[in-house]
Chains A and B, each alone.
Chain A
Amino acid sequence: MRISHARDPASPYSLFGIDVAVIVMPSETSLAESNPLILDSLPDLSPSDGGCPRRARLQIDLMLLAIEALYLGGAEEMLAVSKELELAGIIKNRVALWLLRNTNPLRRYTQRRPLTALEAKALVAIACNLARKLTATIRQLLLDSQQLRSRNLPFNQHLPLAEYLERFRAHFRSRMNPKRSVVAAYDSDEKLDELALNLLSKLLFCTGTAGMQRFWVSLFDGEVE
């Protein structure tokens, strides 16, 4: 009798305790690990925790769109970079990336889900990383466009620039919802070319030493209290 008394109450509790510890601990540690170091340099600026402001979601996606226009296979490269930067916990696969980018309100298949600060930071990190890899191309295209502009020559005189602009126009038109007034405003090739070059110069600023922080903070200009 004594033995059973001593053992009975103890055994279930200890078993229970072990079980709980085994189940809970890994999820806690993985949560802590899922905030990669690279994102620590970006301050938390989200006005409320309801996700990123509209302009931020729009701008991030457009920057990624410009990268895709710069570089064939850019979408694949984004996934590769997300693994490289240890962001795979946030952007798990192609569909997840697609869903995040579709938080852009101008998309044809725009998602009503919010873009959390962590997800936005991951996208910003990917965009800036890719931009840095493409620094030489971006610089050259901007210098060339400057020259063409100063000589009053059309952009299609320059093959690499014409290719970039054409790809950007095609991406933009196929993915953005033409019923949105913002999209409808870009109704001519010239206007889209202007947008593409504007994004290109913003990408140039992303390549800098503090480019990622600058890009991130600029997304919240006029959005915080």
Chain B
Amino acid sequence: MTIRRQYSLPNCTLVLEGLSDGSVASQLEIRPVLSILMSAECYLSGLTEPLTGGRDFFESLVRVVSGYAQEFMSGVHYPDRYDPDSALVQLHRIDGNLHRLTILAGQSESGTQIDQKTQPSAEIDLTTVQLFDLVEAIDQFFADSQTLPELSLQLTPVSKRYIKSAAPVAQRVLPAAVGVSSLALAAMAFFLVPLPEVQRPREPVRQSNGTGQNIGTPNPGAGTPNPNPTPAAEGLLPDDRTQSAISPAPSQSQTPGETPSPTSSPISTANASPSVTPTPVAEGLQEAAVGVPITDPAKIELLNGKLREEIDGVLKTKAPVERELVYRVSVANDGAIVGYKLQNSPTVDGMGEALFSELLYKPVGTRPPAEPLADFRVVFVPGSSVQVSPW
């Protein structure tokens, strides 16, 4: 007996006719299994004649429509999803809302087909809702385990490999090209950036040690000229200092080629400076006269600015001067103030002294003897800023 199965949707009705395989078990069932398909009819709204065909047509229809539905949902187009060349049914996207269903004339119609008149090639444009009804009719057929149970819904996502190969080479190369070229641009930009100028780090001022020593012990080398050059202890440990005091070894701090007068040693000057006395200032200046003066105008200008900055920085915290003060200041190559002297007044001015004693270089290591120095005229004008100019 013929079994008829119908799946009805508003825009699409799918009618399948066939036979059960005749086994006893299937005949006993209320709803026997349709296992041999004789004809399939697909009624679509807008189409007067149904699409009909045999098993080949029906299998092609379900496979193509199911695959197309997946493509519609994912937006991933993969032409080989349902080998369109060999299929009797084709679906093409026209735009987002229209889908063209094409039925090709069946060449390989199987013998089971009852309707032998060959179906001419048919073409119909389905709206999305019509397409959905067609998909739904097919899904209902798939869900029906009593109709062609060997056909079931096979949903598998398309492999990444096919999609990648579909992307044009230019599109794939573009990100890499952008990356490489931006790296090159960055390298060029860095090439144009000037090298940072290496500045000699200021020697750390470890004054607490030396100052304590000087103040705590009545060091004769500080103020008064001493035949024993105790400044040799400068930078050494206290033990060494005592040793050196016991055994006068003047060689350490002697400036080469100079008179062995201990007063001429710049180290002694610097060492003594924390205990503020005006005497060593003269020594520093004297040394400056003895040492090679700095002649490079650019260097002098640089030191000039540096000195001015240093004085300005300290001056802010000081009270303004009452009268004009002119100082002669000796500055070493690295901008360290190694000596100063008040020029226009015989009396010592409190403000200037306090200022320069703060700025004066307090050595911890050894300064090179007879290093080149530059002299500057520093003028404090009452009610205005400080003026610094080369001597």
- Residues of A bordering B, CB below 8 Å: 43, 45, 47, 139, 142-143, 145-146, 149, 194, 197-198, 201-202, 204-205, 208-211, 213-215, 217-225
Assess whether A223 is in contact with B129, with CB atoms less than 8 Å apart: no
- How far apart sit A43 and B161, CA to CA, in the bound complex (Å)? 20
Q: Are A208 and B136 in contact (CB under 8 A)?
A: yes
Counted as pairs of residues, one from A and one from B, with CB atoms less than 8 Å apart, the total is 94
B72 at the interface (CB under 8 A from A): yes
Contacts A205-B69, A209-B140, A222-B74; is A217 near B156 (CB within 8 Å)? yes
Contact B70 A209 (CB under 8 A): no
Q: Does B348 contact A (CB under 8 A)?
A: no
A223 / chain B contacts, CB cutoff of 8 Å: 157, 160
Residue B205 lies at the interface, judged by CB distance under 8 Å to chain A: no
Question: Does residue B153 face the partner (Cβ distance < 8 Å to A)?
Answer: yes
Within 8 A of A (CB), among B121-161: 127-129, 132, 135-136, 139-140, 142-143, 153, 155-161
In contact, A205 and B132 (Cβ under 8 angstroms)? yes
Contact of A217 among B70, B96, B143 (CB under 8 A): B70
Given contacts A210-B153, A219-B74, A222-B158, contact A201 B128 (CB under 8 A): yes
A143, A205, A220: the one within 8 Å of B157 (CB): A220
* Distance of B100 from chain A, by nearest CB (Å): 16
Q: Say yes or no for B82: interface residue by CB 8 A criterion.
A: no
With beta carbons under 8 angstroms apart, the residue of B73, B76, B128, B161 that contacts A215 is B73
Contacts of B136 in A (CB 8 A): 208-209
B29-78 interface with A by 8 A CB criterion? 69-76, 78
B163 in the interface (beta carbon within 8 A): yes
A210 touches B142 (CB 8 A): yes
Contacts of B127 in A (CB 8 A): 146
Shortest Cβ-Cβ A-B pairs, 5 listed: A221-B74, A218-B73, A222-B163, A218-B74, A220-B157
Task: Report the Cα distance A78→B343, complex, angstroms.
Answer: 91
Query: Residue on B with the closest CB to A147?
Result: B127
A94 to B31, CA, bound (A): 47
A205/B135 in contact, CB under 8 A: yes
Docked-complex contact A217 and B139, CB < 8 angstroms: no
Cα of A194 to Cα of B95 in the assembled complex, Å: 12
Beta-carbon contacts under 8 Å, B70-113 to A: 70-76, 78, 96-97
Given contacts A139-B129, A208-B136, A222-B158, contact A146 B97 (CB under 8 A): yes
For B153, the chain A residues whose CB sits under 8 A away are 210, 213
Q: List the B side residues contacting A205 at CB < 8 Å.
A: 69, 72-73, 132, 135
User: Known contacts A214-B155, A224-B160; can you find 19 more A-B pairs with CB under 8 A?
Assistant: A146-B128, A146-B129, A198-B96, A201-B72, A201-B129, A209-B143, A210-B139, A210-B142, A210-B155, A214-B70, A214-B73, A215-B73, A218-B74, A221-B75, A221-B157, A222-B74, A222-B76, A224-B159, A225-B159
Interface size (B, Cβ < 8 Å)?
31
Does the CB pair B73–A202 fall under 8 Å?
yes
Interface residues of B in 174-217 (CB under 8 A from A): none
A51 to B140 CA separation, bound complex (whole angstroms):
32
Give the complex CA separation of A208 and B138 in angstroms. 10
Main secondary structure of the interface of A (DSSP, over half): helix
* Docked CA distance A214–B156 (Å): 9
Closest A-chain residue to B143, C-beta based?
A209
**How far apart are A177's CB and chain B's nearest CB, in angstroms?**
21
Nearest-Cβ distance from residue A219 to partner chain B, whole angstroms = 7
Chain A residue at minimal CB-CB distance from B72? A205
The CB with the most chain B CB atoms within 10 A, among A45, A201, A202, A225, is that of A201
B98–chain A nearest beta-carbon distance, Å: 9
Q: How far is the CA of A167 from the CA of B70 in the complex (A)?
A: 27
Query: Which residues on the A side are within 8 Å of B139 (C-beta)?
Result: 208-211, 214
Cross-chain pairs A/B with CB under 8 angstroms, 15 sampled: A146-B129, A197-B96, A204-B128, A204-B132, A214-B69, A214-B155, A217-B70, A217-B155, A220-B157, A221-B70, A222-B76, A222-B159, A222-B160, A224-B158, A224-B160
Residue of A nearest to B157 (CB): A220
Q: Which of B69, B72, B132, B163 has the most A CB atoms < 10 Å from its CB?
A: B132
CA distance A219 to B73 in the complex (A): 8
Separation in Å of the A87 CB from the closest CB of chain B?
22
B157 and A222 contact, CB distance less than 8 A: yes
Q: Which of A145, A211, A222, A225 has the most CB of B within 10 A?
A: A222
Min distance, Cβ A158 to any Cβ of chain B, angstroms: 15
A45 to B159, CA, bound (A): 11
Q: Tell whether, in the assembled complex, residue A210 and residue B143 are in contact, meaning their CB atoms are under 8 Å apart.
A: yes
**Contact, CB under 8 Å: A225 / B161:** yes
Residues of chain B in range 206-261 having any CB-CB distance to chain A below 8 Å: none
Q: How far is the CA of A201 from the CA of B161 in the complex (A)?
A: 28
- Tell me which residues across on chain A come within 8 A of B129, comparing CB atoms: 139, 142-143, 146, 201, 204
**A142 CA / B127 CA spacing, docked (Å):** 10
Contacts of A149 in B (CB 8 A): 97
Are B70 and A218 in contact, with the CB atoms below 8 A?
yes
Residue of B whose beta carbon sits closest to that of A143:
B129
Provide the residues of chain B in CB contact with A214, threshold 8 Å. 69-70, 73, 139, 155
Of A213, A221, A223, most B-chain CB atoms within 10 Å: A221
Inter-chain contacts of A208 with B (CB < 8 A): 132, 135-136, 139
Closest to A208 in B: B136
CB neighbours of A139 from chain B (8 A): 129
